[in-house]
Structure 1
Amino acid sequence: MDIEYIVEQVTKRISEKLKITVEASGRHLHLSRESIDILFGKGYKLTKATELSQPGQFRCNERVSISGPKGTIANVIVLGPERSQTQVEVSKTDALILGVKPPIRESGNLGGSLGITISTDKASLKIKEGLIIVRRHIHLTPDDANLFKVCDKDIVKAKIFGERPLIFDDVVIRVGKQYSTAMHIDYDEANACGYIKGTTAKIIK
């Protein structure tokens, strides 16, 4: 067998192994127990619709509206399970509709972020902080972090192999046993790279 062909095939397999699945996240929110009680009723339990790629995370049947100074966005998806603090994640385009300027943050980093009004047909709630644009990031298992030679909180570039290939800068690495390896971007970023299901990325350090 031709040695050049063998090298080509091995290189191709290694290259494919180093690609990461990209997932596009639309606007959604995570609710605290207190927020669930206010919006849906005391002791209400969120109902699971579908599992998400990250272990233990799921899309709920429940929907809410979010309102800012200039507008309202209805039918916003609730993700479970419940969290210690309510967090609302939107894109830059969503923020323009709402008339707000939320900070770009990692999930969970909510101190000093913006407030927003959340409503259902039963009640409404104004949170003082929790509205953010989530920083693009890559979840990695510890084994995959070793494979890619990166550590938790590293900042990398990522080449996206979409219909409009591009390189994203300022991508934060998040390593943990609780994660499934995937890169997460919002819909604005997805549109920029021509995202379709099956799009992959490669880490560029």
Structure 2
Amino acid sequence: MDIGEVKQTVRDVLTEMRLRPIPLGISNRHLHLSQQDYDLLFPNQPMAVRNTLKQPGQYAAAQTVTLAGPKGQLERVRILGPVRSTTQVEISKTDARTLGIQAPIRLSGDLAGTPGIRLITPDAELQLNQGVIVALRHIHMSPLDALIYGVRHGDSVAVAIEGTHRNSVFEEVSVRVSPDMVLEMHLDTDEANAADADNPKAYARILGR
């Protein structure tokens, strides 16, 4: 096999691998807490693992909080661990209307100018001055996955949700690349309901690659 045949074989393999279905993860409302805020809300109570998540090292904690906004509350909102440097609350647009706040669509960590919220536990209450977002839909992937799909960290792609009775296309899907990530697209509950993404046959496919 000469070099031209080798290159063509590699291109064929990459094309075939790009057709792999991308698993879907549906993100219900949740929050990440800094160590300081966690200790205030749950004094002398180590964060307990309820179940592990697909992304390595991430887990849903046994502890929950109540979110209180100007118009309403959301109870038993799950904490995701481990602790982070900054507290962040991720909700859907439907949740934002229930709470009575204007939560912007942002990437995780982009918190400047976001609204605050009150966090309530049986032991304490904490008023956040900012930190509430609606998470921008995104795909987690490793550097190898990024090479296969021909994308880079920070790219924005169009993605088809297939295998459902409501096949849909989502544009402006952010690509998040890290050696600590595994392949998974994240939608919030509003997006998942619109696309029937909780269907066990549902999967994502990047378009135009």
TM beyond 0.5: yes
Against the structure 1 CA distance between its residues 151 and 16, is the aligned structure 2 distance closer, same or farther, given a 3 Å change threshold?
A: closer
The aligned counterpart of 1:79 is 80
Other-structure match for 2:156: 155
Q: 1:55-94 CA deviation, whole Å, 9 max, x = no partner? A: 0000110011001100000010011000000000000000
1:203 aligns with 2:206: yes
Partner amino acid for 1:202? R
- The one of 30, 33, 39 equivalent to 1:31 is 33
1:186 matched residue in structure 2: 188
Tell me, what secondary structure is at the counterpart of 1:60? strand
- Report the 3-state secondary structure (helix = DSSP H, G, I; strand = E; otherwise coil) of the residue aligned with 1:34: helix
Q: 2:159, 2:73 → 1: CA distance?
A: 33
Correspondence for 2:171: 169
Q: Is the 8 A contact 1:26 1:187 kept in 2?
A: yes
Q: Kindly state the Cα deviation for residue 197 of structure 1 after the two structures are TM-superposed.
A: 3.3
| Distance in 2, Cα, partners of 1:61 & 1:140 | 27
SS in structure 2 of the partner of residue 96 of structure 1:
helix
| Partner residue in 2 for 1:5 | none
**Is the strand fraction higher in 1 or 2?**
1
- Map residues 62-101 of structure 1 onto 2, 5 A cutoff: 62-101=63-102
Letter in 2 for 1:57: Q
Tell whether 2:51 aligns with 1:50.
Answer: yes
Q: TM-score, normalised by structure 1?
A: 0.90
* Residue 59 of structure 1: aligned partner: 60
Compare 75-84 and 13-22 and name the one that shifted more.
13-22
Alignment TM-score, normalising by the size of structure 2: 0.89
CA-to-partner distance for each residue in 1:134-158, whole Å, 9 max, x for gaps?
Answer: 0000001111111100000000100
Q: Deviations over 1:144-199 (max 9, x none)?
A: 11110000000010000133100001100001101011000000000000112352
What is the one-letter code of the residue matched to 1:170? E
Specify every segment of 5 or more residues in structure 2 that has no aligned partner in the other structure, as ranges: 1-11
CA distance in 2 between counterparts of 1:51 and 1:123 reads 26
Q: Identity over aligned residues, as a percent?
A: 40
Residues 198 and 48 from structure 1, CA distance in 2 versus in 1: closer, same or farther, beyond 3 angstroms?
A: farther
- Which residue type is aligned with residue 197 of structure 1? P
How far apart are residue 18 of structure 1 and its match? 2.5
In 2, the alpha carbon distance for the partners of 1:55 and 1:163 equals 31
Q: Distance in 2 between matches of 1:97 and 1:191?
A: 17
Distance 1:17 1:82 in 2: 36
